[in-house]
Copies of this chain bind each other. A is one copy, B any other.
Amino acid sequence: MFKLIKEDKDTKARTGEFRTRSGTVRTPAFFPVATQAAVKGISPRELNEIGLEGLLVNSYHLYLRPGVEVIKKGGGLHKFMNFDKTIITDSGGYQIFSLEKLRKVSDEGVEFQSHIDGSTHFLSPEDAIRVQLELGADVVVQLDECLKYPCSYEEAKIASDRTVRWAKKGFDFFKKHSKDKALFFGIVQGSIYEDLRKQCLKELLALGIDGLCIGGLSVGEPQDLRYNMLSIIEQNTDKCGFRYFMGYGRPRDIINAVSLGVDLFDCVVPTRYARTGTAFNSEGKIVIRNAPYTTDVRPLDEECSCYVCKNFSRAYLRHLINAKEILGVQLLTYHNIFWYHTLMDKIRTAIEKGCFAEFKNAFLTEFKED
């Protein structure tokens, strides 16, 4: 459950503690994504060394491979992947709705075809919760219907209403079958339509859910519309409610969304960028394969204290990435996750000290993302 600690005086940013049966997450927080029960390129003991307090795992992927039974027999997700901190699973909805051609939606649920072998599967709102409970997640998330931008008001209303009905069904199932203090999160939909967002929020919060996921944003809409929706959501939730913006999290995005009241993020960016040879530092991004780094003996980030920055030069990392050495991906992944973790530390510290607005302005000025 969420405990609000400090509210920023200038923005909607706040610090808090999100407590699950597996530990406490200091917020605002960022969770790396362990799509298939592994964060690509980094071991769980390295995640612990960095200080990560949680992960997001994709239940759609695990449902298909290796399958729920394998993970159950392996003692549940925490034991299977050897990570004892907080694990949130998603419902699979986002992945399924990304398979444009491979799904049929009805009020009963969603039929889809596996991207691995083409086999047909059906997932009801109750199934989605059952899968996540069987995987052993600390926090389970309702099945939702996520639309891309743009979509008409009518389409958005149908999806939003259905999402609320699925939340009720999922939460009923959850209350009957969950054990050991797992938590249940709903997802607010409604595209860019203010009244749909408000209506959806009102009905979800009335259910007594443990936290709110922000869905249906970062799906192609202009930034100002996205921020407007985040404001609407902030204004229409209790300040003691927990807000998790799923699948979102480039550095500038995080700073802006924190200032609009978001508490938690997950995103594949730090790991995916590492695999393409891109590292973060205080000035922005370093595309390490580029020629200027050929004999650059400096660390990736001169202000970073991670294992990689203490021990390896840009020249060496460039060589590894250019030579397609797997170690290059490992080291960049470690650095990027450490760098994100440190960014969240700095954000929390700025809020605690009452200087988040200055921090935000300085960051947005200095940090060149593109």
Q: List chain B residues, Cβ under 8 A from A320.
A: 36-38
- The contact of A319 among B36, B42, B313, by CB within 8 Å, is B36
Number of copies: 2
Q: List chain B residues, Cβ under 8 A from A37.
A: 316, 319-320
Cross-chain contact A315 with B65 (CB below 8 angstroms): no
**Alpha-carbon separation in the docked complex, A45 to B46 (Å):** 12
Cross-chain contact A294 with B329 (CB below 8 angstroms): no
Cross-chain contact A40 with B326 (CB below 8 angstroms): yes
**Alpha-carbon separation in the docked complex, A74 to B312 (Å):** 10
- Given known pairs A315-B70, A315-B73, A319-B65, the reply for A41 and B326 (CB within 8 Å) is yes
Cross-chain contact A36 with B326 (CB below 8 angstroms): no
Q: What is the interface size of chain A, counting residues whose CB is below 8 A from a CB of the partner?
A: 42
- Given known pairs A70-B294, A326-B41, A330-B43, the reply for A316 and B65 (CB within 8 Å) is no
Choose, from A75-83, A143-151, A231-239, the stretch at the interface: A75-83
Q: List chain B residues, Cβ under 8 A from A45.
A: 307, 311
Q: List chain B residues, Cβ under 8 A from A42.
A: 327
Cross-chain contact B40 with A316 (CB below 8 angstroms): no
**Alpha-carbon separation in the docked complex, A81 to B313 (Å):** 9
Q: List chain B residues, Cβ under 8 A from A61.
A: 323
- Given known pairs A75-B297, A82-B312, the reply for A322 and B66 (CB within 8 Å) is yes
Q: List chain B residues, Cβ under 8 A from A41.
A: 326-327, 330
**Alpha-carbon separation in the docked complex, A147 to B42 (Å):** 42
Interface string of A54-90 (1 = CB under 8 A from B): 0000000100011001100111000011100000000
Any chain B CB within 8 A of the CB of A331? Answer: yes
**Alpha-carbon separation in the docked complex, A58 to B45 (Å):** 31
Shortest beta-carbon distance, A116 to chain B, in Å? 9
Cross-chain contact B69 with A295 (CB below 8 angstroms): yes
Interface string of A297-335 (1 = CB under 8 A from B): 100000000010001110110111011011111110000
Shortest beta-carbon distance, A134 to chain B, in Å? 14
Cross-chain contact A43 with B315 (CB below 8 angstroms): no
Cross-chain contact B315 with A38 (CB below 8 angstroms): no
Cross-chain contact A295 with B40 (CB below 8 angstroms): no
- The contact of A80 among B44, B80, B315, by CB within 8 Å, is B315
Interface string of A216-232 (1 = CB under 8 A from B): 00000000000000000
Most buried by B among A319, A325, A330: A319
Q: List chain B residues, Cβ under 8 A from A329.
A: 326
21 A–B pairs (Cβ distance < 8 Å), ordered by A:
A36-B325, A37-B316, A38-B323, A38-B327, A41-B330, A42-B327, A43-B327, A61-B323, A65-B319, A65-B323, A66-B322, A69-B295, A70-B294, A70-B295, A73-B297, A74-B316, A80-B315, A82-B316, A326-B326, A326-B329, A326-B330
Q: Which residues of A contact B (CB under 8 A)?
A: 36-45, 61, 65-66, 69-70, 73-75, 80-82, 294-295, 297, 307, 311-313, 315-316, 318-320, 322-323, 325-331
Give me 4 other A-B pairs in contact (C-beta within 8 A), A40-B327, A43-B327 excluded.
Answer: A40-B326, A61-B323, A66-B322, A70-B294
List the 8 closest pairs (A to B, CB-CB), nearest first: A66-B319, A38-B327, A73-B295, A38-B325, A82-B311, A36-B323, A41-B326, A74-B315
